[in-house]
Amino acid sequence: MVVIQRAVLRDPLFLTGLSLRVALILVATPLSHEVWFIPFLQNLGAGGFIDPWAAHLAVGGTPMAFPYGPVMLAILAPGVLLGTAIDHLAPGLGAARLGLALTVLALDLAMLRTILRLAPGRRRACVGLYWLSPLVPYICYWHGQLDVVPVLLLLNGLIILAARRMVLAGALLALAVSAKLSMAIGVPFFAIYLISDKRLRPLAPRYWAAFLVIITLLQAPQLLSPAAVEMVFGTPEAAKLYSLAVSFGQGLEVYVVPVAYLLILYATWRVKRISFELLTALLGIGFVLILVLTPASPGWFMWALPFLVLYQLRSGPSGIALVAAFSAMFVGFHLMTSTGARLILTDFDLGQPLASLVVLPQRAIPLVLSLLVATGLILSIQLVREGVLRNDYFRLSRRPLLIGIAGDSGSGKDTLAEVMIGLFGQRSVAHVSGDDYHLWDRHKPLWQVMTHLNPRANNLSQFNRDVRDLANGRAIRSRHYDHATGRMTKPRLVPGSDVVIASGLHALYSPEICECYNLKIFLDMDEMLRRHLKIQRDTTRRGQPVEKVVRSIESRYPDCRRYIHPQAERADIVFSLQPLHPITDDGFVPFNEKLPLKLKVALRPGMHYENVVRILIALCGMHVDVLVNEATNATEVTVEGEVDAEDIAMAVRELVPQMDELLDFAPRWQGGNLGIMQLFVITGAVDALRRR
Ligand SMILES: Nc1ncnc2c1ncn2[C@@H]1O[C@H](COP(=O)(O)OP(=O)(O)O)[C@@H](O)[C@H]1O
Ligand SMILES: O=C(COP(=O)(O)O)[C@H](O)[C@H](O)COP(=O)(O)O
């Protein structure tokens, strides 16, 4: 049973739409129901279960009667067969007719509920845009088409796919196609969606396995029935896709719809990474173009309607007006040219198209069709502009997100890179480390002559080339410097990804590589804290004697001042981790002691930080000071206090909800200062991506 919130059921708008539907069911019976669908379905009762299509043709039924698959049959038959049985008991009740109409009403309510699930919090808008649209009463209750069935299955398959319940989602897509073959139009869009999102790729085999098993089980028997092949696969409806052709002369024709459809698929393929919202927009564009470029049956509009509702919810009054105009043209055109309904208990038969009942002005039909095509094309352009090009996610994900992280040895570059990889997901990030571009390893004599902090001790031109290649989505081959052995390993393939993190001593050194980054970060950790943490790391994790590490820190300090620290001027964000209590020269801090820290965040002029500060105070309960550095005009935000990972996750969802689909399914949020860094990096990245 379709469960719709009580608030909707009590909504006057809903009750108005329901009254209209019930009135139509009571007073009108669509010609298509009476002449095609009900007789076909009643054959099942006459022993047509084995091969309903053959049984129908055997009694002289028309091949046009039921060009649908077994799922449509299974969903619609119970109401009709029950009604037929009741009619046998009480002739003249019209229960079979009511059985079909009430089944359609139940599916219509399920469609409303599905749309409400797709647009949570937009209850009245969804009721207004779907339930009160004249399209649905016209298509389902006057003209009498059944497309609400496959579209409902397709839409729920989308929702289940977004929830990553892959087997059920694949099965629902198969059910949609087995209800009406034209839903196969959507299959390539789903395939591109599953390929484009690296997070979904491991889950895709289950999806397609379920799809193929269900579609085979349901469609194979139909292929064995010549009658089904004639009525379903050979339906004249399919020929409409080829009706618009461009003649190349010499009897050659190019079909416009297949060309347009392939162009839309190509454009979809070019969208680097498709969010759920983008997928619904692209599917809507595909369906609307088919409506515009073919003499589409009224039922075909149901394919696009849910996506048009979502478009209107996002676009507001202009989109609503445009869809209303397109809908009005569509209904007007089909009232004139398509079958309608007979009024019950009267002889008033509007089953035939208006054009055959009354004399219309000569140009009425072509004029309305022209307006229909014009409004449809304008709507398609708007769907592309507003549904795709202006889609935040589309703009964020068209090219890889590039983040550069520079800082002295031990300042936290790898740590920050790792916590950001934990957010985006290993599959979606290409990490390039400056250490892998040292010109010599620890065992070479030059190691004793020139420190690695000197740019000339590193192959920075190769580093820059590799970052640029990754920025263009190309894979690179990069060696790896193993700090445990002090040697370079063999080159390994680093594939292009949605996010590129380039961290290293000189990651912001060359101006031209800085132009590649969307976000530039410099780590300027308190010097005593850095020494403490570097000594702790190099002795415990890199097996180096304390004396050697201390000597190295001292000997490299001049190069650090000369080559590393100046990079801070190029950064968008400078993170400076500070101990709450200064570490004095002789104040040795035991490695296992957790140092209370605070984080200073210097943001270059123009970086938006107000909302971040608001959230850190209001939601995370942090103590935050904001200062503007008069010299650099940079904003310095000092953050103190404890924050847990869940609060950081909530803060990011509040500040940049559109990032959700760019992050991993289970992003690894951090608490403490690393979580605050995650927050500033994510919001800074979205800011930068919106500007590009
Ligand atoms: N934000 C931070 N909070 C606490 N400890 C940190 C932080 N960043 C780095 N560290 C610690 O400091 C040491 C050096 O960090 P690392 O990321 O290896 O620096 P780099 O990559 O710049 O050489 C590591 O032991 C690391 O755990
Ligand atoms: O210090 C760094 C940078 O690494 P990081 O920024 O991770 O500290 C150089 O890679 C070292 O010179 C490598 O030499 P070693 O392996 O002997 O430290």
- The response to whether residue 577 sits with its C-beta less than 6 Å from ligand 1 reads yes
Q: Which of 340, 208, 237 is nearest to 296 (CA)?
A: 237
* Ligand 2 binding pocket mutation candidate from 452, 454, 460, 547 (most atoms within 8 A of CB): 452
Segment 220-242 shows an average pLDDT of 85
Tell me, what's the pLDDT at 391? 82
Q: Which of 85, 229, 77 is nearest to 149 (CA)?
A: 77
Structure tokens that stand for 119 in this block: 């647009």
The residue whose CA is least distant from atom 25 of ligand 1 is 537
Ligand 2 centre from 601 Cα, in Å?
25
The residue whose CA is least distant from atom 15 of ligand 2 is 483
DSSP secondary structure letter of residue 458? B
In ligand 1, the atom with minimum distance to the C-alpha of 523 is 22
Ligand 1 centre from 267 Cα, in Å?
43
The residue whose CA is least distant from atom 12 of ligand 2 is 452
The residue whose CA is least distant from atom 10 of ligand 2 is 435
- The response to whether residue 674 sits with its C-beta less than 6 Å from ligand 1 reads yes
The residue whose CA is least distant from atom 23 of ligand 1 is 410
Q: CA-to-CA distance for 244 and 257, rounded, in angstroms?
A: 7
In ligand 1, the atom with minimum distance to the C-alpha of 674 is 1
- Whether the Cβ atoms of residue 170 and residue 206 lie closer than 8 Å to each other: yes
Domains in the chain: boundaries:
235-398
Percentage of residues in the chain having pLDDT higher than 90: 64
Q: Is 375 left (phi over 0), alpha (psi -120 to 50) or beta?
A: alpha
**276-322: per-residue pLDDT in tens?**
888 999 999 999 988 888 888 899 999 999 999 999 998 889 999 99
**347-396: per-residue pLDDT in tens?**
667 778 888 888 888 888 899 999 999 999 999 999 999 888 888 778 77
Tell me, what's the pLDDT at 3? 65
**584-595: per-residue pLDDT in tens?**
766 566 666 788
Segment 168-189 shows an average pLDDT of 96
- The response to whether residue 466 sits with its C-beta less than 6 Å from ligand 1 reads no
Nearest ligand to the C-alpha atom of residue 577: 1
Burial of 490 (0-12, 13-18, 19+ CB in 10 A): exposed
Ligand 2 centre from 505 Cα, in Å?
9
Q: CA-to-CA distance for 452 and 437, rounded, in angstroms?
A: 10
- Whether the Cβ atoms of residue 625 and residue 600 lie closer than 8 Å to each other: no
Tell me, what's the pLDDT at 1? 47
- The response to whether residue 505 sits with its C-beta less than 6 Å from ligand 2 reads yes
In ligand 2, the atom with minimum distance to the C-alpha of 544 is 17
Higher per-residue pLDDT: 214 or 339: 214
pLDDT at 577 over 70: yes
Tell me, what's the pLDDT at 13? 92
- Dihedral through CA 481, CA 483, CA 489, CA 493, nearest 10? -50
Q: CA-to-CA distance for 278 and 275, rounded, in angstroms?
A: 5
Q: CA-to-CA distance for 436 and 441, rounded, in angstroms?
A: 10
pLDDT at 505 over 80: yes
Mean pLDDT (the chain) is: 91
- The response to whether residue 414 sits with its C-beta less than 6 Å from ligand 1 reads yes
Structure tokens that stand for 115 in this block: 């749309």
Nearest ligand to the C-alpha atom of residue 542: 2
- The response to whether residue 412 sits with its C-beta less than 6 Å from ligand 2 reads no
**111-123: per-residue pLDDT in tens?**
999 999 998 888 8
Segment 244-270 shows an average pLDDT of 90
Nearest ligand to the C-alpha atom of residue 407: 1
The residue whose CA is least distant from atom 5 of ligand 2 is 409
Three-state secondary structure along 495-538? CCCCEEEEEECCCCCCHHHHHHCCEEEEECCCHHHHHHHHHHHH
Name the maximum alpha-carbon separation found in the chain: 104
Structure tokens that stand for 229 in this block: 């092949």
Q: CA-to-CA distance for 18 and 20, rounded, in angstroms?
A: 5
pLDDT category at 63 given cuts 50, 70, 90 is confident
Tell me, what's the pLDDT at 588? 61
In ligand 1, the atom with minimum distance to the C-alpha of 672 is 3
* Ligand 2 binding pocket mutation candidate from 432, 505, 553 (most atoms within 8 A of CB): 505
**29-57: per-residue pLDDT in tens?**
999 999 999 999 998 877 677 888 888 88
The residue whose CA is least distant from atom 15 of ligand 1 is 412
pLDDT at 206 over 80: yes
Segment 188-205 shows an average pLDDT of 92
pLDDT category at 93 given cuts 50, 70, 90 is confident
- The response to whether residue 486 sits with its C-beta less than 6 Å from ligand 2 reads yes
In ligand 2, the atom with minimum distance to the C-alpha of 505 is 6
In ligand 1, the atom with minimum distance to the C-alpha of 577 is 1
pLDDT at 668 over 90: yes
pLDDT category at 2 given cuts 50, 70, 90 is low
pLDDT at 454 over 90: yes
**15-28: per-residue pLDDT in tens?**
999 999 999 999 99
- The response to whether residue 520 sits with its C-beta less than 6 Å from ligand 2 reads no
Nearest ligand to the C-alpha atom of residue 415: 1
25: which residues sit within 8 A by CB, 6+ positions away? 98, 101, 102, 105, 141
In ligand 2, the atom with minimum distance to the C-alpha of 411 is 6
Segment 80-98 shows an average pLDDT of 92
The residue whose CA is least distant from atom 7 of ligand 2 is 409
Tell me, what's the pLDDT at 587? 54
Segment 493-518 shows an average pLDDT of 95
Structure tokens that stand for 227 in this block: 């009658």
Percentage of residues in the chain having pLDDT higher than 70: 98
Nearest ligand to the C-alpha atom of residue 531: 1
Ligand 2 centre from 40 Cα, in Å?
78
Q: CA-to-CA distance for 195 and 274, rounded, in angstroms?
A: 9
